[in-house]
Chain A
Amino acid sequence: MSKVEGVSKVESVSKVKGLQTFPGNRIIWHALIVGVVWLLLLLLNNNIDPLYSSYLALIAMYATAMFGMTILVGLSGQVSLGNGALMAVGGYVFALTSMNWETVPIFGWQWNAIWSMVFAGLGGVLVGGVVGGLAARLKGPYLAGLTLGLAVGVPAITNRFPELLGGENGLMLTVPYPDGGYAAAGAAASLDPGAEGELESTTDPGGDQNGELATDDQFAELDLSEFDQETDPDAGLATEDLLTEEDFGSGDQLADGDLLTEEDFGSGDQLGLDGTDIGTDIGTDAGTDIGADLNVDSDSLLDGFDSGFIIERWQASMAIAVACIVAFAALNLVRGRQGRVWKAVRDDPIAAAVVGISPSGSKVSAFVVSSLFAALAGAVFAQILSFIGPGAFGLGLSLSLLVGIVLGGRASLLGAILGAILLVWLPELVDGLAGERGWPEQITNNAPNLLYGLLVVAVVLAAPGGVTGTIRSWVDKARGKARSPLS
């Protein structure tokens, strides 16, 4: 074949086999993969029940942190329990910076949030650099012990500066949601799509006190077509009725100050599922208030919120965005030269040094990268919780991260994702089973952890590569290759 043909054949073969000969190609390939996944996730996010969106958000958050663990523990071989503490660093930096800034919306996105994330990341890099510098000199158990001390000690620091860091009780965050400026945290969390037609009094995204709706409440575009489905236009209201103006008879008019009571509807009439009166105003235009006690189907109510803003979905899309960006970076590092350097130092530091790689330099870089990812994950976590406190970032979190990557596959980014899914899904599964079988809380609270602990031991003994490593070794065996499950 001609030279041109030969070259293009090599290129096409390389592309097919995933062997990227040019770094540029590889980066583009990775960008493509991440981009597609991002798109799919966003599509998924918009079409599932918001409850699942909140799971998605947590999974993405954990995955972000665990990509760092994959690099630190898997590729660089440093068993560290410090990433929980580093998540705390990121979370606190985010909280402190975002709490004190004014909202500056740009293109509908809160510009400050990005800056706060950047600062959170920087905080992670700084602390990670310091810890990594110390840790690079340490072997196995000494490193684990030091980072163990970090995991237990950093949360204690919050008590050292209670005014600044909120002490045991932590800090409440005001999360910069895209529409309508800052919103109080609690409001977002308690919009529960499963609730039966009741908007709880605290759920008032419009910022009112007492949870009552007032004319300036921001429910955009109520779909009032629902309200036309009355079953008894003349006789007043029955429990299934939804109100329209016709129901009120001629002469009756409702103005914004009116409160409907049972007298307005004639005796015997009842409103709402449990017969409670409508206690608030009903406006006649679309887009204005609804009574809190109206028996309305909550799903349809929420559908009417065409601001596009459902809190869980926003959280998920934010978390997914961060996760995908981090994944892209991680992918390039792991499957690029740096990844090979890390592995080389892990497997044979002397040989690596001989070839001109600095073992301590590589260890520190792994630490810094994983700290950056952890800090970003911590910032995301803070936004999901709308709160940051020492309790969530203790030893348990660091151990969870370790569990996640060990079970998923220590040196695999895909393993990190699997681990994240497991960490979020297993407790839910256990809760579900507990509900069915009536297990006491004591059991269900601890069952996931017991399982994690036993699985970790089992994996280390029998399948050190975790899920992904084991599958990879099966594939390799089928292909007739031999490879260590830990590589």
Chain B
Amino acid sequence: MTNFIDYLLGGFSNGAVIALMALALVLVWRSTRMVNFAQVGQAMFTTYIALTVQQSTGNWVLALVVALLAGSILGVVVFFLVIRPVKNSDTTGAIIATFGVLIALQAGAGMIWGGDPEGFVPPVDNAGLEIGGRIWPVSLYDLLVLAVTAVLVIGLTLLFTKTSLGLSMRASAFNPEVARLSGVRVNRMLITGWAIAGATGAIGGVLIAPFSTISPNSFDILLVFAFTAAVIGGLDSLIGAVTFGIGTGLVISLVSGYSDSGNAPIVALVLLALNLLLKPDGVFGHHGSRSV
């Protein structure tokens, strides 16, 4: 039983990062009805930037902020690259374009920083905390990750439900024409959505970096997990992304604990397949994902 609890606890911070990535995917889906498969590539790239900042200044917070900004800018850039085919209703082309961006980002990162795995030093201790005479699988850093994620999620929720900007963005996502007729500058809202998504992904990338090493391809598996979580939660739903992001993290932790960590992608694949088979709109979603 203690094993179970340990695995569960250990999975929370991982789940938080997956939740952030899933959130980024959902943000993009809500604003432009497309899945940005390059999202993790962007996060990888900005994490490298953060690494460089941290290595030269030793300041983690600064690195995080720089990553955040870089993530927003990169998000907007990618938006402009892939949005045109969508406008011309070439949805297949849009998907392909996001993969093109992913490939380019991975290659670019390899060129700039090299392919060798790099370590990222966490700002606070990453060792298990000792509470009540026992070493728990939760460290100070894990708590920091959870805290940052919570702040981000709460912030985004407030943004969307309470502010005019949030209302404009939601309206632009639900019905761009009516939004325009109401005076909303819809294009700007789309760009804002991608910028926020890029920033969210960037933060997720910086947070997860200390857990292992980063290399241009190290985030690939994260894409699968994040996509799985986002789809299960319903691509429309921010709550779903967060809930199932954390859930996926917990499941992976359990799987890795009880069997081999290499099984995790297989489990994710099976979950994804089951979900798409049984409830393609996701648990909280309502828009059609099935074809005719």
Contact = CB atoms under 8 A, between A and B. Distances in A.
Question: Are A and B part of the same complex?
Answer: yes
Interface of A: 73, 77, 79, 81, 134, 136-142, 144-146, 148-150, 152-153, 156-157, 159-160, 349-350, 353, 359, 395-396, 399, 402-403, 406, 442-443, 445-450, 452-457, 460-461, 464, 486
B291 A359 contact: yes
A359 B292 CA distance: 8
Contacts of B105: 453
A140 B107 CA distance: 25
B223 A148 contact: yes
From A350, A395, A453, name the one whose CB has the most chain B CB atoms within 10 angstroms. Answer: A453
From B90, B220, B269, name the one whose CB has the most chain A CB atoms within 10 angstroms. Answer: B269
B186 interface: no
Interface stretch (B45-53, B163-171, B236-244, B258-266): B258-266
A149 B90 contact: no
B150 to A, nearest CB: 27
B85 A453 contact: no
- For the complex of A and B, list the 10 residue pairs with the smallest distance between their C-beta atoms, beginning with the closest: A453-B104, A456-B100, A453-B103, A449-B107, A141-B35, A450-B107, A153-B269, A446-B110, A149-B269, A446-B107
Contacts of B290: 137-139
B292 A353 contact: yes
Contacts of B111: 442-443, 446-447, 450
B110 A141 contact: no
Nearest to A156: B265
A150 B110 CA distance: 24
A141 B276 contact: no
A156 B85 contact: no
A144 B276 contact: no
Interface string B78-113: 000110110000111111110111111111101100
Nearest to B104: A453
B227 A148 contact: yes
A349 B110 CA distance: 42
B114 A139 contact: no
Contacts of B101: 453, 457
Contacts of A349: 291-292
B268 A153 contact: yes
A140 B290 CA distance: 9
A395 B290 CA distance: 25
A476 to B, nearest CB: 19
Given A146-B272, A159-B260, A140 B95 contact: yes
B93 A153 contact: no
A153 B265 contact: yes
Nearest to B271: A149
B135 interface: no
A322 B82 CA distance: 37
A139 B291 CA distance: 5
Interface of B: 34-35, 37, 81-82, 84-85, 90-97, 99-108, 110-111, 114-115, 217, 220-221, 223-224, 227-228, 231, 260, 262-266, 268-269, 272-273, 276-277, 280, 288-292
11 contacts: A73-B92, A139-B291, A146-B272, A146-B273, A149-B228, A159-B262, A395-B217, A447-B107, A449-B110, A450-B111, A461-B84
Contact of A456 (B90, B103, B227): B103
A160 B266 CA distance: 10
Contact of A461 (B91, B97, B104, B224): B97
A457 B100 contact: yes
A457 B79 CA distance: 12
B35 A460 contact: no
Nearest to B41: A453
Given A395-B220, A442-B114, A453-B102, A138 B266 contact: no
Given A399-B99, A457-B81, A137 B291 contact: yes
A145 B272 contact: yes
A454 B104 contact: yes
A141 B220 CA distance: 16
A77 B291 CA distance: 12
Given A141-B34, A456-B100, A149 B108 contact: no
Nearest to A150: B269
B268 to A, nearest CB: 6
A445 B272 CA distance: 33
B100 A153 contact: no
A402 B97 CA distance: 11
A157 to B, nearest CB: 6
Given A137-B276, A460-B100, 7 more contacts: A148-B227, A150-B269, A395-B220, A443-B111, A453-B102, A460-B82, A464-B93
B272 A149 contact: yes
Given A141-B34, A461-B81, A449 B91 contact: no
Contacts of A455: 100
Contacts of B264: 156
Given A138-B280, A141-B95, A144-B35, A156 B263 contact: yes
Contact of A153 (B84, B92, B94, B266): B266
Nearest to B90: A464
B269 A134 contact: no
B98 to A, nearest CB: 9
A378 B8 CA distance: 39
B37 A144 contact: yes
Contacts of A456: 96-97, 99-100, 103-104
Contacts of A137: 276-277, 280, 290-291
A396 B103 CA distance: 9
Contacts of B223: 148, 152
A329 B126 CA distance: 57
A403 B277 contact: no
A349 B291 CA distance: 9
